[in-house]
Amino acid sequence: MGSPMAFNLLKAGYELIVFNRNREKEQELISAGARSAKDLPSLAAEADVVFTMLADDSAVKSVFDEQHGLLAGAQLGKLLIDMSTVAPETSRFLSGLCEAKQVAFLEAPVSGSVQPARDGQLIILAAGAESDFEKAKPLFNVLGKLSLYLGKAGLGSSAKVAINYLLAINVQAVAETILFAEKNGVNKEDMLRIINEGACGNGIIKLKTPAILTNNFPPAFALKYIVKDLKLAKDAGMRAPLSGPLLDTFEAAANEGLADEDLMAVIKYLRK
């Protein structure tokens, strides 16, 4: 997600400094005109605005570390924006760390996967100080088709975890529907057309239709990350009737070797 977003900032004319713990992953952006930071404190000292986009809570906390991370170099006037999907409590923790250092902080997780990131069509769920949101909005306009200000830190993460819960329900529901139809003699091509042409069709099902038809699931959003997000929802208090079985299914699919495939690969697990 981070790389296509960074490319869009370069294309929009912004000066870009990058840092990745795997330095090889910086090379495409450097070839396109970005500069590489020596380390995280140097990045925070040089840049006016720093975006982080990482896999999980522990990675984000390590990057914000006050001794060796961004907060070792960030000073008054800097704006740190975390776009990772993390627990609401983690966003509140990061906000508190930044406030103590007099550094501005926004959480801004996104709804969307790799292709919307490439197209600058993400939905950005921002929370923190409204003045910081207004400062970041021109950058958000490059990265997404819609940026929403939701209020105090933690609310952006809560909204992201909620929308990913709905995503998981949609994906498992269409998988179960296709498999039930096939079991009763209806081929998946016809069933997908019935879904997509009718009121039950939606954006995510249409997006996943080619993968279902070819039974090929390259990771636009890896299945292991929906497991992480469903656990975040559980930890944040999700106790809905579908939530337990939903997490169980995706977790079992990950344990069956599907963790690095797209979350739609859950259909392969359910087919068994």
Identify residue 34 by its one-letter amino acid code: A
Give the pLDDT of residue 91: 98
Q: Is 104 helix (H, G, I), strand (E, B) or coil?
A: strand
Give the pLDDT of residue 188: 98
Q: Which ranges in the chain are annotated with CATH 1.10.1040.10?
A: 158-271
pLDDT tens string 245-256: 999 999 999 999
Q: Are 153 and 92 in contact (CB under 8 A)?
A: yes
Q: Which ranges in the chain are annotated with CATH 3.40.50.720?
A: 2-152
Residue with tokens 């656990």: 231
Give the pLDDT of residue 134: 98
Give the pLDDT of residue 245: 98
Ranges under pLDDT 50 in the chain: none
Give the pLDDT of residue 237: 96
Strands (E), the chain: 17-18, 35-36, 49-52, 79-82, 104-107, 110-111, 122-128, 144-149
pLDDT tens string 29-61: 999 999 999 999 999 999 999 999 999 999 999
Give the pLDDT of residue 133: 98
105 bridge partner residues:
80
Give the pLDDT of residue 21: 87
257 bridge partner residues:
none
CATH superfamily of 158-271: N-(1-d-carboxylethyl)-l-norvaline Dehydrogenase; domain 2 (1.10.1040.10)
pTM attached to this predicted model: 0.94
Give the pLDDT of residue 128: 98
Give the pLDDT of residue 15: 98
Q: Which of 78, 160, 208, 228 is catalytic?
A: 160
How crowded is residue 53: how many other Cβ atoms within 10 Å of its Cβ? 20
160 is annotated as an active-site residue: yes
| Alpha-carbon span 119 to 164, nearest angstrom | 20
Fold adopted by 2-152: Rossmann fold (3.40.50)
